[in-house]
Structure 1
């Protein structure tokens, strides 16, 4: 039996308690300072108030100030914070994880640099390690929603990291009949692919809102959604090449894009915008909801604009990303740039 300490009681981290417990391991779920109410209810009933599921009976729960106790004897640490908790995790948790305990994160996203380059969260965390400290930092990516994982629907993901042997050991703890894990040492490729899906899922979801605006709530037009999906994959593939990730990783980004479009928080914001609601009003409508799509869309667009200023890319190659950014950050109205998607190939 191994001991796994999860820091962050978000929905995905909490859903990942099921396969690990079923494999006979011990799970200690630690809340961040924002998870206090979640942990309080879990201690009383094992019911997760955000995931809306009852977690396995044997999971042990800790508040943020009890994290050092939860780390004692741990064999693996899982980071379950959202993009908004990346710096909190770097400042408060990374320094106290023992050097010989590998870490794996469900957090998806990238950080833009001044020169227009982008780095993955694992690479960012490595840069934030205290001087002299070494830590194996790995990531999880792929098409998997927390609630369907908790309901044991078949899900296929990738674990990525620098050391394949460490990845194999972690995989053995998580693999279940319904949770299928591939391994990759292409951290940039996997992490970039799955991070980008949030930005583009918002873009595809605009078509959902446009159809509802024109013909009524619940109306679906799949041609327009499919066209935006295809454009998204095209732009994501180009971005993968820009950051130096293997293009085969597009399968994780495209799969994650597909599942995100069909539900969740990013679909909600995209739909509201497509209906004609202003960005500020849509954000107010969804107050209290964590919207990582806004973060990654803004960061990615900022990086691409910097690269364009340096003559390294052409903004015309990213019309959907640029339009999403204009909606979010410049108050633009939704007006899908369909003509910009057209190409001629010889």
Structure 2
């Protein structure tokens, strides 16, 4: 069954998810605020700044006009950077209200809003009135856009409070290389998705410093413990963190050069300043803002997150990475399960 879907955000992941939906036979409108990007996409069917050496289907059309992109849509998929999600949602809310339109909302972004510490489903719920939305779902999992566009086997989770809503989104995306599982643990999936970027920065930094597999495995394992502690303090299911949006996402982002968070950490480990790293990347590094939000949130809730705290001090207080690692390693001993 064909559905009309607006995909907001034509970065790497947004354009790939739009491509999956288009290939599955849906009527997809890919929106970007950047008119030059939209014009290039529609004239050449390429998105070279984000997805190199790939030609998209001619049936996938990009839009610069947000109202035109979401007019008549049954689903709206947000894949914009975390810190602009609220501003885009405000614009969407105005259009939906004017059109007397009701949609299912999905987001595939990974982060926590600075200042409010809100998960992105909470941001969408706050900005878009119940009269204009049926449900809110989140998609997450170990999924580099560069691999998915080449039809590498990719598995993700879609979470919604109502499993029936998650199942409807599942059916939109499922095909021979893109498999989707369902969950009703929105909190766990969103927190896992956001905080794994912090651990990816740390893993990249270890690589840049010359540390090997033992150190990286230790960081990812103990990092997952921190994420689980914070998530369960909000009521998340602890089993979620050993699933696709937890350990799966940490593995893929903490070990691959495709991860911009890993690459950022790697450059920091090699001695580059944070400003240099940000300038070199040319794309949003979600883990930087998420580290600040998670650090402040952990203090607010009294959750012990030593790795997150260490990475925060490196990013925001210019702490020496080697000395920070030494401080982590020489802390008082404790039980692994505490």
What is the RMSD computed on CA atoms of the aligned residues? 2.1
Please give the alpha-carbon distance, in whole angstroms, between the structure 1 residues aligned to 2:332 and 2:139.
31
Report the CA distance shift for 1:284/1:74 in structure 2 as closer, same or farther (over 3 A).
closer
Report the CA distance shift for 1:111/1:341 in structure 2 as closer, same or farther (over 3 A).
farther
2:221 paired residue number: 230
2:293 is paired with a residue whose SS is helix
Q: Residue 329 of structure 1 is aligned with which of 295, 316, 325?
A: 316
Within the alignment, does 1:260 sit opposite 2:262 as a pair? no
1:103 is paired with a residue whose SS is strand
Once the two structures are TM-superposed, the CA of residue 133 in structure 1 deviates from its matched residue by 4.7
1:115-134 paired onto structure 2 within 5 Å: 118-130=117-129, 133-134=132-133
Q: Could you tell me whether the CA contact under 8 Å between 2:42 and 2:62 is conserved in 1?
A: yes
**Residues 264-313 of structure 1: per-residue CA shift (max 9 Å, x gap):** 21111101111233333433443x32110101111000111223xxxx33
**Residues 219-248 of structure 1: per-residue CA shift (max 9 Å, x gap):** x72111111111111111111112211111
Within the alignment, does 1:8 sit opposite 2:9 as a pair? yes
1:282 paired residue number: 277
Moved segments of 4+, more than 6 Å: none
Please give the alpha-carbon distance, in whole angstroms, between the structure 2 residues aligned to 1:173 and 1:272.
38
1:338 paired residue number: 329
**Residues 18-61 of structure 1: per-residue CA shift (max 9 Å, x gap):** 332222221111112xx322211111110112112211121122
Q: Which moved more, 1:254-263 or 1:17-26?
A: 17-26
Within the alignment, does 1:302 sit opposite 2:296 as a pair? yes
Report the CA distance shift for 1:102/1:163 in structure 2 as closer, same or farther (over 3 A).
same
Report the CA distance shift for 1:151/1:76 in structure 2 as closer, same or farther (over 3 A).
same
2:146 paired residue number: 147
1:5 is paired with a residue whose SS is strand
Once the two structures are TM-superposed, the CA of residue 112 in structure 1 deviates from its matched residue by 5.7
Within the alignment, does 1:100 sit opposite 2:87 as a pair? no
Once the two structures are TM-superposed, the CA of residue 345 in structure 1 deviates from its matched residue by 6.2
Within the alignment, does 1:269 sit opposite 2:269 as a pair? no
Please give the alpha-carbon distance, in whole angstroms, between the structure 2 residues aligned to 1:156 and 1:134.
27
2:283 is paired with a residue whose SS is coil
1:241 is paired with a residue whose SS is helix
1:1-346 paired onto structure 2 within 5 Å: 1-32=2-33, 35-49=34-48, 50-52=50-52, 53-63=54-64, 66-97=65-96, 99-111=101-113, 118-130=117-129, 133-211=132-210, 221-250=212-241, 251=243, 252-261=245-254, 262-263=256-257, 264-286=259-281, 288-307=282-301, 312-313=302-303, 317-335=304-322, 336=325, 337-340=328-331, 342-344=333-335
Q: Could you tell me whether the CA contact under 8 Å between 1:143 and 1:259 is conserved in 2?
A: yes
Please give the alpha-carbon distance, in whole angstroms, between the structure 2 residues aligned to 1:152 and 1:15.
10
Please give the alpha-carbon distance, in whole angstroms, between the structure 1 residues aligned to 2:238 and 2:219.
20
Question: So what's the TM-score if we normalise by structure 1?
Answer: 0.87
Once the two structures are TM-superposed, the CA of residue 99 in structure 1 deviates from its matched residue by 4.8
Unaligned runs of 5+ in 2: none
1:136 is paired with a residue whose SS is strand
Q: Could you tell me whether the CA contact under 8 Å between 2:102 and 2:132 is conserved in 1?
A: no
Once the two structures are TM-superposed, the CA of residue 160 in structure 1 deviates from its matched residue by 1.2
**Residues 186-215 of structure 1: per-residue CA shift (max 9 Å, x gap):** 11111111111111111121110110xxxx
Q: Could you tell me whether the CA contact under 8 Å between 1:205 and 1:270 is conserved in 2?
A: yes
Please give the alpha-carbon distance, in whole angstroms, between the structure 1 residues aligned to 2:22 and 2:133.
28
Q: Which moved more, 1:68-77 or 1:172-181?
A: 68-77
Unaligned runs of 5+ in 1: 212-219
Q: Could you tell me whether the CA contact under 8 Å between 2:114 and 2:290 is conserved in 1?
A: no
Please give the alpha-carbon distance, in whole angstroms, between the structure 1 residues aligned to 2:78 and 2:286.
16
Question: So what's the TM-score if we normalise by structure 2?
Answer: 0.89
Once the two structures are TM-superposed, the CA of residue 62 in structure 1 deviates from its matched residue by 0.9
Please give the alpha-carbon distance, in whole angstroms, between the structure 2 residues aligned to 1:280 and 1:60.
35
